Amino acid sequence: MSDNNPFPNSEYKGFIFSKSDMSGTQFDCVNLSDSKFWVELKNAKFSDSNLEACAFDDVNLSHSTYENINLSCSKFNNVNMSNTSFTNLNLENTEISNANLLGMKINGVLVSDLFEAYEKNS
């Protein structure tokens, strides 16, 4: 952990983060499971952390990075994840609905092209 880490304690399980601008915050090696987020988290960095069963509602996560994190059973509602990058993901049983996928790529392929190919073969 860096010296300027605002979260020196590693346990934040069940915390409620609300009505705050936490842009640029770094979460490193923390347990945030079961926490609720109603905050600004633009440019946030989550690394080596547990975000299992978290709720992200009305949150700006744009330009954020995620490295070695657990997001299983988490819920995202009204969230901005534009310009965000994910690598080495397990998306097993993940459901996405009512999403703007403009410009989204999976393994370098535009999702809109994947849908177009799917519709042609259906």
Residue 97 lies in a domain: no
- Label residue 8 left, alpha or beta by phi (over 0 means left) and psi (-120 to 50 means alpha): alpha
Model confidence at 21: pLDDT above 70: yes
Residue 69 lies in a domain: yes
- Label residue 97 left, alpha or beta by phi (over 0 means left) and psi (-120 to 50 means alpha): beta
Domain that holds residue 51: 16-88
Q: Could you tell me the CATH number of the domain that includes residue 70?
A: 2.160.20.80
Give the number of domains in the chain.
1
Residue 5 lies in a domain: no
pLDDT at 94: 87
pLDDT tens, 61-114?
999 999 999 999 999 999 999 998 887 788 888 888 898 989 999 889 999 999
Residue 111 lies in a domain: no
